[in-house]
Amino acid sequence: MQKPLAEVFTWPHDTPQLIGSRCGDCAATTFPAQSRCPRCGRSSMTELLLPRRGRLVAWTTQGFVPKLPYAGSDKADGFTPFGVGLVQLDDVIRVESRLTENDPAKLDFDMEMELSIVPFYVDDAGDEVMTFAFAPVSDSTDSTDSTDGR
């Protein structure tokens, strides 16, 4: 069966969203959810489902295997570099995330991105662990995972 890497996105779900939190006093927003506000320090944070789409503010590639406790199945042999980016979700928050695209030629600043949930590794129990990654929004209609009609 499939299971999420952590309880930080709605899963299973047809249109999954990252689970953040928002301060009831000053409106500061975090990802993941936390109980105290990073701006005003008060404890008025409530859960907030974050927008699924945004634009790419900054990005790079991860070209070497991260040290343990990195859990990816591509640890030892045949490591494939992955993209990492900071994605601004509407005007709500910027989230640091893996990207589904790792080719610098196909990544660009301000390009539109959408949340996807992708297979990450198979754990000792044989379960497929799923993680979140942002994918470039395809201009054409042949995208395989474009389930969001927005």
84 versus 137: smaller Cβ distance to another protein:
84
Q: Which is nearer to another protein, 82 or 146 (CB)?
A: 82
DSSP E strands: which ranges in the chain?
2-4, 19-23, 29-30, 45-49, 53-62, 82-89, 93-99, 112-122, 128-136
Binding site residues, another protein, CB under 8 A: 5-6, 8, 20, 28-32, 38-39, 57-64, 66-72, 81-82, 84-86, 88, 91-98, 104, 109, 120, 131
CA–CA separation, 26 vs 31, rounded Å? 16
Residues 6+ apart with CB under 8 A from 120: 5, 71, 72, 73, 128, 129, 130, 131
Least distance in angstroms from the C-beta of 102 to another protein = 9
Residue 44 or 146 with smaller CB distance to another protein: 44
Minimum CB separation from another protein for residue 35, in Å?
12
Residue 123 Cβ vs another protein, minimum distance, rounded to whole Å: 11
Nearer to another protein, 26 or 137 (CB): 26
